Amino acid sequence: MTLRTVATTPFNDQKLGTSGLRKRVPVFQQAHYLENFVQSIFDSISAPAGSTLVLGGDGRYYNREAIQIILKMAAANGYARVLVGQGGILSTPAASCVIRKYQTYGGIILSASHNPGGVDGDFGIKYNGSNGGPATETVTEAIFALTKQISQYHILDAADVNLDTIGTTQLGAMQVEVINAVNDYADLMATLFDFNQLRALLSGGFRIQFDAMHAVTGPYAQEIFVNRLGAPVNSVMNAVPLPDFGQGHPDPNLTYAHELVEIVYGENAPDFGAASDGDGDRNMILGKGFFVTPSDSLAVLAANATLVPGYKNGLAGIARSMPTSAAADRVAADLGIPCFETPTGWKFFGNLMDAGKVTLCGEESFGTGSDHIREKDGLWAVLFWLNVVAARNESVEAIVRAHWAKYGRNVYSRHDYEAIPTEAANQVIQKIYAQFPELAGKSYGRYTVATADDFSYTDPVDGSFSSKQGIRILFTDGSRIIFRLSGTGTEGATIRIYLESYEPDVAQHHLDAQDALSELIAIALELSDLKGLTGREQPTVIT
């Protein structure tokens, strides 16, 4: 084994987005591209000698090859030990769990989350700190700064490590320990939820269908739902992780999880349906023929938290991303606890959780979680819902409708326009900005604009400031239209439009969200001239 220092030159496109660096696989396969970025991570965090690193990913194409490169670079950069998920598989929530359980210095997670995989698909990499959460903006900016000036990286010339057999291998002076991260994660879930109650539910005729979408959660779902809770084997579908996710799009929404949706809305439907995404941190919850919006999901879980063992003593607070509906705010007010509104990105919840200010967190982009780890957690949300269903002995739909009857309904939808040419997307945003001075007080039918702004956030824990986090058009009745350019895609730009109105009248709660929001949708398209500037007649995805 020989330690080599390799001369290199910077790439100009390694700026991190909301969740790390995401590019097409061929971009990462360029000579020195991955190595430059990994060395910039190592140089920016300056881990002390003898540190332990966690490493793994969602199994997408290039996962194994990248792990081997990173292992050899970790050995050359002075790490004493690396914990790797068996087969290179490690869900994002499980990575956070392992970092916290074994008190490691941090971890590298290989994933492009809900983006498609395959030879020409997407790949991603991000660093999580010692609390198990995504790197702060201070860290990601430091990494980016180093990528622009890197001149060399360090790597050990050595044979590849066997990733499929649990045990320890020596790589130079560093130990590589292949671990069963599925058990570590499942053991944590057993401390939070009443597994005896869940076993009784699933053996009493209550049927579930979980779609792993050929992504990372298949092994985790099989261990928990089938092995530990006794659900039939066929309760978990698309359970084998594949490098191209079975040529599917591993995003758990009504559009991309259509196979599950057809089952849950079809004849002889199961009582409960759920799906998770590429790296296991997102979730979609369905009742029999009934879709639960992520915003409602956070609010319902918060309102019922004391029914679940891990949260029986109540919540310290709730946090939601700014585009997420205000449904959780109403629950927090009722419970007498704070509700924090943050920018999009789970890293903004980390400080709040570390400071003990919040217990539950959620984003409208199908992410929900709690302070048990420092990432959003798809399977955790599914187990939480099942525990609430078991404790209340009611259907998913009945629970949500009872929630609306008590708190009112925040009617909500998100319209995604994906892969728009960047210039056209920027024109849409500039079109809205240009109207700011004249919007306040302007009426559109029954809606009157109260204010228009670009959301900014000052972290109440460390005082850090984040600006330009999304355009908000706020109406006098509490309705909202929000526009954001997403940072999770790899091609062009994605414009997300979030629409929300509040409906206290139970007699109106049966309305389809798109019908109830039709006026706001028309206003959003008028304000943005999205069709004229992009040529797009319809959203790519509606959730």
Closest among 389, 424, 222 to 308, alpha carbons compared: 389
SS3 content of the chain, % helix, strand, coil (to 5): 35, 25, 35
Supply the angle between the helices 33-45 and 137-147 in degrees, to the nearest 10. Answer: 130
Q: Cβ(381)–Cβ(285) under 8 Å?
A: yes
Where residue 476 falls (left for φ over 0; alpha for ψ -120 to 50; beta otherwise) is alpha
Q: Cβ(190)–Cβ(254) under 8 Å?
A: no
Q: 344: buried, middle or exposed (CB in 10 Å: 19+, 13-18, 0-12)? A: buried
Residue of 113, 235, 365, 501 marked active site:
113
Backbone torsions φ then ψ of 542, nearest 5 degrees: -120, 125
Supply the angle between the helices 195-203 and 378-392 in degrees, to the nearest 10. Answer: 70
Cα pseudo-dihedral 67, 69, 70, 76, rounded to 10: 150
Q: Has 113 been annotated as catalytic?
A: yes
Pairing of strands 208-211, 236-237: parallel
Backbone torsions φ then ψ of 457, nearest 5 degrees: -145, 130
Closest among 469, 454, 446, 450 to 519, alpha carbons compared: 446
Cα–Cα distance, 256 to 187 (Å, whole number): 30
DSSP symbols for 61-106:
TTHHHHHHHHHHHHHHTT-SEEEEEEEEE--HHHHHHHHHHTT-SE
Contacts of residue 317, defined as CB under 8 A and 6 or more positions apart, other chains included, come to 332, 337, 338, 339, 340, 352, 357, 358, 359
Q: Cβ(499)–Cβ(413) under 8 Å?
A: yes
Q: Cβ(107)–Cβ(42) under 8 Å?
A: no
Cα–Cα distance, 64 to 66 (Å, whole number): 5
118-137: b (≥16 Cβ within 10 Å) or e: beebbbbbbbbbbbbbbbbb
Q: Cβ(222)–Cβ(236) under 8 Å?
A: yes
Q: Cβ(377)–Cβ(281) under 8 Å?
A: yes
24, containing H or E segment = strand 21-24
Contacts of residue 339, defined as CB under 8 A and 6 or more positions apart, other chains included, come to 317, 318, 319, 320, 328, 329, 331, 332, 333
Q: Three-class SS of residue 18?
A: coil
Q: Cβ(229)–Cβ(223) under 8 Å?
A: no
Enzyme catalytic residues: 113
